[in-house]
């Protein structure tokens, strides 16, 4: 790895290697940090569900009215970190503006999910108080009945043709700061930092300047 590498290409390579390794379940689990307008941070795991190498964004899916969703709606920014012990110690950090994924993209992903995930997206009030845990399966069954989903289809578990709830969908984190860190001998780790400036387009996408690359003390 060199500081002159295209950071999005290296990132794509790291994600590919993680995905094809059988070292663990959920190799693309990312800690996602958001904050309130007055700077109180919060962090939780999400699963990366896509990386657009050319444009430079990742996506994940969640409840728009969850804590993270509420914070993103205010600050429109997030930061994420992934760590892979299995490749000798690699840390990937990303930061940038966040926007909703286009509706059709969220629809397609929702349509591909197992029916129980689909129903859960309908009935979960993610991040709110759950007074009665036993009510959740009952709500899911009620929803399944509303959509006319048969017991056989529930047993099968495959995706069903039901609409996506508007409170659930994808986000894109457009990367304007990226750090590649890899463990070196004798604590001389490699740490490369890449930044770029974004110009927002009318369709809520971003176009970036060339990357500014620097090495940082690890
Ligand atoms: C490995 C792992 C992956 C997860 N992936 C997601 C995800 O992709 N989307 C999601 O909404 N929650 C996911 N969760 C649950 C979140 O960590 C979290 O509990 C939930 O999103 C509520 O977070 P919030 O209250 O901070 O918004 C995942 C949890 C784990 C442990």
Task: Tell me, in angstroms, the distance from the centre of ligand 1 to residue 214's CA.
Answer: 32
Pairing mode of beta strands 57-63, 168-174: antiparallel
- Point out the ligand 1 atom lying closest to the alpha carbon of residue 44: 17
Q: Is the CB of 61 under 6 A from ligand 1?
A: yes
Task: Tell me, in angstroms, the distance from the centre of ligand 1 to residue 78's CA.
Answer: 14
pLDDT, residue 2, reads 80
Task: Tell me, in angstroms, the distance from the centre of ligand 1 to residue 123's CA.
Answer: 16
CA-to-CA distance for 204 and 192, rounded, in angstroms?
Answer: 28
- Among the four given CATH numbers 3.40.50.2300, 2.40.30.30, 3.40.190.10, 2.30.110.10, the one describing domain 7-113+166-215: 2.30.110.10
Report the predicted TM-score, pTM, of the whole model to 2 decimal places.
0.96
Q: Is the CB of 46 under 6 A from ligand 1?
A: yes
- Point out the ligand 1 atom lying closest to the alpha carbon of residue 34: 26
> Which residues on neighbouring strands pair with residue 143, listed in sequence order?
none
Q: Domain limits of the chain?
A: 7-113+166-215, 114-158
Nearest CA residue ID for atom 29, ligand 1: 45
| Mean pLDDT per 10-residue section of the chain, whose length is 218 residues | 87 96 92 98 98 97 98 98 95 98 98 98 96 93 96 96 98 98 89 97 96 95
pLDDT, residue 139, reads 95
Q: Is the CB of 60 under 6 A from ligand 1?
A: yes
Assign residue 30 a region: left if phi > 0, alpha if psi is -120 to 50, beta otherwise?
beta
pLDDT, residue 88, reads 92
Task: Tell me, in angstroms, the distance from the centre of ligand 1 to residue 80's CA.
Answer: 13
Sign for the CA dihedral angle at 155, 161, 163, 168 comes to: positive
pLDDT, residue 188, reads 84
Which of 47, 59, 109, 168 to mutate to test ligand 1, by most ligand atoms within 8 A of the CB atom?
A: 47
pLDDT, residue 111, reads 98
The CA-atom distances, in angstroms, between 212 and each of 50, 118, 195, 199 are 24, 42, 5, 16
pLDDT, residue 22, reads 84
Q: Is the CB of 168 under 6 A from ligand 1?
A: no
pLDDT, residue 4, reads 78
- Point out the ligand 1 atom lying closest to the alpha carbon of residue 29: 1
């Amino acid at each position: 790895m060199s500081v002159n590498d295209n950071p999005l290409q290296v990132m794509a390579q790291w994600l590919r290697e993680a995905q094809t390794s059988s070292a663990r379940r959920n190799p693309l689990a990312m800690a996602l940090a958001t904050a309130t307008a007055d700077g109180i941070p919060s962090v939780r795991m999400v699963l990366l569900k896509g990386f657009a190498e050319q444009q430079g964004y990742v996506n994940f899916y969640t409840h728009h009215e969850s804590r993270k969703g509420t914070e993103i709606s205010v600050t429109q920014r997030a930061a994420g970190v992934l760590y892979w012990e299995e490749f000798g110690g690699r840390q990937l950090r990303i930061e940038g503006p966040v926007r909703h994924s286009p509706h059709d993209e969220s629809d397609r992903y929702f349509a591909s999910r197992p029916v129980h995930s689909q129903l859960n997206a309908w009935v979960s009030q993610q991040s709110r108080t759950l007074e009665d845990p036993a009510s959740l399966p009952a709500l899911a069954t009620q929803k399944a009945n509303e959509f006319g989903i048969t017991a056989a289809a529930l047993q099968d578990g495959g995706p069903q043709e039901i609409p996506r709830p508007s409170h659930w969908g994808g986000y894109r984190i457009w990367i304007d700061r990226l750090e590649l860190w890899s463990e070196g001998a004798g604590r001389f780790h490699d740490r490369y930092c890449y930044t770029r400036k974004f110009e927002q387009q009318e369709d809520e996408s971003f176009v970036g300047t060339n990357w500014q690359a620097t090495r940082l003390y690890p």
